[in-house]
Structure 1
Amino acid sequence: MSLPPLAARLSGLQSSAIRDLLKLTSRGDIISLAGGLPDEQLMPQEKIAAAADAALARRSRLQYTESAGWIPLREVLAARESARLGRTVPLGEVFVTHGSQQALSLLAEVLLDPGALVLVEDPAYVGALQVYRAAGARIVAVPLDADGMRVDVVEQLLARGERPAVVHTVSNFHNPRGVTMSPERRRRLAELAVAHGFWVVEDDPYGELWFERPSPDPVATYAPNVIRLSSASKTLAPTLRVGWMVAPESVCRAVELLKQGADLCGSALTQQIAADLLADTDWFTAHVDSVRAVYGERAKALVAAVRGRFGDRVVSTDAAGGMFVWVDFTDGTDTSALLPRAIEQGVAYVPGAAFAVGAGHENSLRLSFVTSDTTTLTEAIERLGRAADGRPQSRS
């Protein structure tokens, strides 16, 4: 007996290559530079436990909460986002979601009709590609360079008559490319959004993880039709599943209607935990400073190892923040073909083709530096070098 068919929109969707790779590299003998997972050793376990105990002292924390998020958390976020954006962010413009990925998914339903045009960066954040493909959007790639999204290419597309509904950008320490959009391009993108009437979704989970200088002012500083997403996953812990959106109230109310149909509301318990930690500004500042220091040291070690081992065979980003280094092979190395040999040597990464909007990036790869110490990162690049050199396995 055959089962009834599934919805047609699933036909073009594929599982994330990165999530599939994480299953493959879960063995203890493999150094994984593949996953974008924050280091659990740096997560404030005791502080989270204390906040959980305080929350559980009240039975009301076991109850449903508002669909838009627990009000005290939204108040904390409104204060933080007001400081970030240089304006007063009203409570009605702050919406809490089950991680920022849920915000992205709900926004796609609110902002896009099937066939609507979405501009994304290439290489792209794969979570965004999954969302926009599921929404039936027409996706057009905009290249990146060292200053982030090529806004001049956006202008060229507009001049040719393209009319995007949404432009999506990971503006700070891009996943996977590692670059940050320049202040000039941020202002210009905001100007274009106002002039041509499209939305910008500014996806910013990494903005607080800068190593040498703070991230530039958000794109949302410059225009009202920029929707800003962020998350506690990279600074506190992914298990809290606390993300948020700053958007015009009309967008927040539309998202609220859809969220009620998806999960009614988030967890009052984890939202109170997040509120307690984020509201303790002195502690949170010191905590993020310590995370930055560790990640910054690891980023420098990884970049130095890559450049020392491969020389002019590669060009890599400098990793001024965030979690990733992007490496381009200049000698034609196919990183998808290289991956099985790398795993045999005991190291894993994500091939660049996994982030391509269409084809491309066959000679590139993404490395994450956050979950291993500097000695382990150096060993990982030595293993990768042996794989790229075609040398026999020599690890113990």
Structure 2
Amino acid sequence: MPPTNPPLAAKLAGLQSSAIRDLLKLTTRADVISLAGGLPDAALMPRERIAAAAETALSNSSCLQYTESPGWAPLRAVLAERESARLGRVVPVEEVFVTHGSQQALSLLAEVLLDPGALVIVEDPAYVGALQVFRAAGARIVAVPLDADGMRVDVLAELLARGERPAFVHTVSNFHNPGGVTMSPQRRRELAELADAHGFWVIEDDPYGELWFDSPAPEPVATYSRNVIRLSSASKILSPSLRVGWMVAPDRVCRGVELLKQGADLCGSALTQQIAAELLADETWLTAHVDSVRTAYGARAKALVHAARDRFGARIVCTEAAGGMFVWADFTDGTDTQALLPRALAEGVAYVPGSAFAVEGGYRNSIRMCFTTSDAATLTEAIERLARAGVNK
């Protein structure tokens, strides 16, 4: 008899690969200007400073050993101090948990906070990494739209008034991926008040908050409620390869995450956590470094938005480039950006169609563009190539 193939888990049937990761495979040609990836610029990463911190860490063999599941204690202390300053209250070390990037925090939180069929509310358009996690957890996902002030908290309030009871609400509050907008201070307070009144968690996903260009991001949603679990990361300000993310959450959430992390990977890397601790604790150096990244990204973002508006005029509506890594654009002339993509790639430019971020369809006339890895002249050329691909016809 021929062998019978063992089955895979049924939950895989409803999952799809990230459209962005798949697209990156098509943009490795040297002649393609990629606006598709969500990558920080490797040229701006502090390689020499990372190397020096690595040498310091390697002077002690402890960096080669397993470390605590919640993270290397000195790193957690550094993060607690940074988050205390950000939130305006004392954050105990026990409420700081280090993860393998903030994406792992999302994955572990989904296991801790969700039972199959539980309701999760997300923003629309949505961060695709979050959608992958929540779908794998078997959640029921309901979308709330964005506007220029971030999540439409009034729509969320209407859902709650109709009897919906989410396990949690997920928001990318600062310089949204993909939407490029930032939640207003008033909506942050309103969201926190709803969480307290109705007893649900808010996961405030904030990997971009330090990448502001003209003025700092508003106070975190976590400032206003202890029902907010705050995520952040060193990936965008130092290097993704360090894989250092963190979570600030009540102790009972951290302990639940710890149990699951022990089963997933035991612990993170003591080496990279020691490197990150040294860099994040060096406030004078870090401030200067992040300022240089902000300056570079700010100039690139403004160049991209200016080129798009100048080239397409009223046929395009772009978000303002206030921070983060992305610009969201809607074409007003009916351009189908999914259909356009093959022609754009042929012209030597890549982007992510808006439909990749839709929770239940839509955004066929939208695109997400990342400005971090090209200079102003290259970004202007990318918009010219996009126009040649047929947007202006």
Matched, 1:272 2:260: no
SS in 1 for 2:236: coil
Q: Which whole-Å CA distance do the structure 2 matches of 1:26 and 1:258 have between them?
A: 36
Compute the RMSD of aligned alpha carbons.
Answer: 0.7
Residue 370 (structure 1) aligned to one of 366, 369, 372: 372
Q: Which runs of 5+ in 2 are unaligned?
A: none
Q: CA offsets, 1:151-202, max 9 Å, x none? A: 0000000011101111000000000000000000000000000000000000
Matched, 1:137 2:105: no
Q: Structure 2 counterpart of 1:302, which letter?
A: L
For 1:1-396, list aligned pairs within 5 A: 1-389=3-391
Q: Which whole-Å CA distance do the structure 2 matches of 1:151 and 1:319 have between them?
A: 23
SS in 1 for 2:25: helix
Following TM superposition, the consecutive aligned residue runs of length 4 or more in structure 1 with deviations greater than 2 angstroms are: 388-391
Q: Which whole-Å CA distance do the structure 1 matches of 2:19 and 2:173 have between them?
A: 23
Q: Which whole-Å CA distance do the structure 2 matches of 1:42 and 1:3 have between them?
A: 48
SS in 1 for 2:219: coil
Q: Which whole-Å CA distance do the structure 2 matches of 1:208 and 1:290 have between them?
A: 12
Q: Which whole-Å CA distance do the structure 2 matches of 1:276 and 1:60 have between them?
A: 15
Q: Which whole-Å CA distance do the structure 2 matches of 1:348 and 1:324 have between them?
A: 14
Q: Structure 1 counterpart of 2:171, which letter?
A: T
Contact 2:229 2:249 in 1 (8 A): yes
Contact 2:335 2:391 in 1 (8 A): no
Q: CA offsets, 1:192-235, max 9 Å, x none? A: 00000000000000000000000000000000010000000000
Alignment length, in residue pairs?
391
Q: Could you tell me how far 1:390 is from its partner in structure 2?
A: 7.1
Contact 2:125 2:357 in 1 (8 A): yes
Q: Could you tell me how far 1:2 is from its partner in structure 2?
A: 3.4
Q: Could you tell me how far 1:5 is from its partner in structure 2?
A: 0.5
Q: Could you tell me how far 1:389 is from its partner in structure 2?
A: 4.4
Q: CA offsets, 1:43-64, max 9 Å, x none? A: 0000000000111111111000
Identity over aligned residues, as a percent? Answer: 79
Q: Which whole-Å CA distance do the structure 2 matches of 1:389 and 1:82 have between them?
A: 47
Contact 2:188 2:220 in 1 (8 A): yes
SS in 1 for 2:99: strand
Q: Could you tell me how far 1:340 is from its partner in structure 2?
A: 0.3
Q: Which whole-Å CA distance do the structure 2 matches of 1:333 and 1:208 have between them?
A: 34
Q: Could you tell me how far 1:319 is from its partner in structure 2?
A: 1.3
Q: Structure 2 counterpart of 1:222, which letter?
A: Y
SS in 2 for 1:321: coil
Q: Structure 2 counterpart of 1:334, which letter?
A: D
Q: Structure 1 counterpart of 2:230, which letter?
A: R
Q: Structure 2 counterpart of 1:154, which letter?
A: L
TM-score relative to the length of structure 1: 0.98
Q: Name the structure 2 match of 1:394.
A: none
Q: Which runs of 5+ in 1 are unaligned?
A: 392-396
SS in 2 for 1:245: strand
Q: Could you tell me how far 1:388 is from its partner in structure 2?
A: 2.3
Contact 2:178 2:326 in 1 (8 A): yes
Q: Structure 1 counterpart of 2:99, which letter?
A: T
Q: Could you tell me how far 1:354 is from its partner in structure 2?
A: 0.1
Q: Which whole-Å CA distance do the structure 2 matches of 1:26 and 1:208 have between them?
A: 29
**Distance of aligned partners of 1:65 and 1:389 in 2 relative to their CA distance in 1, 3 Å threshold:** closer
Q: Structure 2 counterpart of 1:97, which letter?
A: T
